[in-house]
Amino acid sequence: MENVWKGLPFVIFGVGGQAKEIKVLIDDINQSNKTPVYEIIGFVSNSQDDVGLEIEGIKVVSTNDNFPEFSKKYKLLGATIALANPKWKEQIVNSVFSKTDNIVFPNLIHPYAHVSTNANNELGIGNIICAGVTITTNIKLGKFIILNYNSTVGHDVVIEDYCTINPLSAISGNIKLSKGSLVGAGSSIREKLTVGEYSTVGLGSTVVKNVDDNKIVIGKAAENLEYKRRV
């Protein structure tokens, strides 16, 4: 599959395990094209102590705070946010990218992800779709969403900005994942439900009813964690 970019200079925000995986994802995208799509020039960290360190053979070249100045070296620079925490992603967008005007945010779609191209799907910017992900029909993705390895998204689903869906999660049809929600690995969500803003579905949970904003739910029936603590 060909891409409009030809060796676009590119940075990855984050220095943890997620960032390492996204570096591999970008390598796989490059290898699947006749010419490299992205040229990874470095990682960006929240800590000055990380600058100069190497991760997977690529240096940490800037901090979040210094990035607007660093980016001036480039006419056009690509970026992605390789962080699972939705609030951290949103913070970077609001505090860093708002101070730049030469940054683009491609959707990174692994060659082995299945995203139907003729199924009325809508994708925002800066999304990461990993290997093994399946996206079916009439899906609306916001911006800076991570769909991690082997997760599935059913028909007529809305996933709002900054959400993270971790590996092996199953999102059934007609679901809304509200802004900043996070779905833990191996979780399932029943059809026609809404997960509220900035809520978390815990590892391996089964969600069978709506989740309010700013809640943590966990377990086979995805009980409210705050309620369990009170009893």
* Positions marked catalytic: 155
**Which residue in this structure is represented by tokens 């904003």?**
213
- Count of CA atoms in the C-beta half-sphere (13 A) of 1: 12
- What tokens appear for 190 in the block? 């029943």
Strand order in the sheet with 108-109: 108-109, 128-129, 146-147, 164-165, 182-183, 200-201, 216-218, 223-224
Give the DSSP letter of residue 48.
G
- Pairing between β-strand 128-129 and β-strand 108-109 as defined by DSSP bridges: parallel
Cβ pair 223, 205 in contact under 8 A: no
